[in-house]
Amino acid sequence: MRLLALAWLCASGFAQAVDADMRLKWFGSATSLPDHDATRLVGESPQFDQSADVRLMFSGGEGGLEWLVHHASTLLSGDGVALAGQAQRAQLGQGLSRSAFDRVPTDDARRVADLTWPIGDGKRHDAFHRLDRIALKYRRGRWAFTVGRDAVSWGSGRVFQPMDLFNPFAPTAVDRDFKAGDDLVHAQVLLDSGADIELLAVGRRDDAGDVTATAASLAAKVHGFVGAAEYELLAARHYRDRVYGATLRLPLGGALLRTDIVATDLQGGGWRTSGVLNIDYSFDVGPKNVYVFGEYYHNGFGSSSLLPLSQLSPLLIERLARGEVFTFMRDYTAVGGTVQWHALLTQNVTLITNLHDASSLLQTSFTYDPGDRQRLELGVTLPMGRSGEEYGGVPVAALPNGSVLTSGGGARAFLRWVFYL
């Protein structure tokens, strides 16, 4: 809190007016675990978890100089927190981290600045607070600069984001209000043609906790137009690899076609190519507004067959751990849409299918918006697959009796409430 107060005083020194907002969030879930799930060795099913979050948002500025500070206090509690501690003691391995619940960032181990502080923890809870945004922004003419902790989103995927190298949302992430911030320097310039160029540097720490160039990202992206089409070109050094990307967005009648292609030149030799191709369309059915989309995704780091976690490619494991990739195999489709049943009630549906083993993951939710300040979301995530298939349970380890322990494959119901002050 002392750092927050200091940021507040410094910012107030050059800001004539301060905008202050607050977001209150509560997220609860119940997960039914199959008998072959590894967590059943140390816990029961169903598994109940919840998180509560208070996000304080301050911003202001004068002239072309702006600043922002977002401070979040978070409480995680339930069976997931308890099982994570037991799993670590039992050395059950991956897939059982405390931070996995609702994918809430719980530390800054990889970021340049450690702006996360513990409040207290126990067998079934973990409380902490952190600065998720603290940045200065300057705009003058055609130039814009950002220095500090902020978020950048690149790419045009609907469900999968191979071109977003910086904390992309997971395909089934429920809380998408705020993307986790990175410690970065960002510059953007608008050209006479209407195109723009972005330069980005993201600092990170390596496995030893040192800020090094091998853990950082340097990127340049050009965004422009050719007739009715829109394009982006990306060149980056991301960790130890070189990454090149291209995006094309093209209107087709009332629909919009998008594609991202990303090629990674590995430091150890060889190339991996990932990409998405999607199309979406909005239309009316009577008084109801309907939005539909379809997407194909190729994961160049994925496996052609589902292997136990310990046998997966180190290249894939590394990107899973960094939160850049969320699938184990290579080819997937995603279809879904949104139906506005009422001015205040909307339903979202997404079906993800693994094209190698035909297992699928269905997520649907109903969102009730009684006003601009409040939102209530109720939904379910249903895996459809057998043990040993990606969405039925990824193999983790074999037991002496011949049975196989898995991770994932549990159905989950969730309830999320958000209120803005």
What does the pLDDT look like over 234-256, one tens digit per residue? 999 999 999 999 999 999 999 99
Strand 217-226 and strand 47-62: the pairing is unpaired
What is the mean predicted confidence (pLDDT) over 354-370?
Answer: 95
Please write the tens of the pLDDT for every residue from 259-272: 999 999 999 899 99
CB 149 within 8 A of CB 115: yes
Measured distance CA(364)–CA(351) in Å, rounded: 9
CATH topology of domain 2-420: Porin (2.40.160)
Please write the tens of the pLDDT for every residue from 4-62: 444 444 444 444 589 999 999 999 999 998 888 888 877 788 999 999 999 999 999 98
Categorize the per-residue pLDDT at 107 as very low, low, confident or very high, splitting at 50, 70 and 90: confident
Measured distance CA(382)–CA(394) in Å, rounded: 15
Measured distance CA(305)–CA(353) in Å, rounded: 15
CB 250 within 8 A of CB 257: yes
Query: Is pLDDT larger for residue 335 or for residue 125?
Result: 335
What is the mean predicted confidence (pLDDT) over 138-142?
Answer: 95
Categorize the per-residue pLDDT at 89 as very low, low, confident or very high, splitting at 50, 70 and 90: very low
Supply 214's token pair. Answer: 């091998």
Query: Which segment, 5-14, 89-98, 234-243, 308-317, is predicted with the most confidence on average?
Result: 234-243
pTM given for the model: 0.90
Look at residue 199 and tell me whether its pLDDT is greater than 80.
Answer: yes
Q: What is the pLDDT of residue 90?
A: 47
What is the mean predicted confidence (pLDDT) over 399-415?
Answer: 85
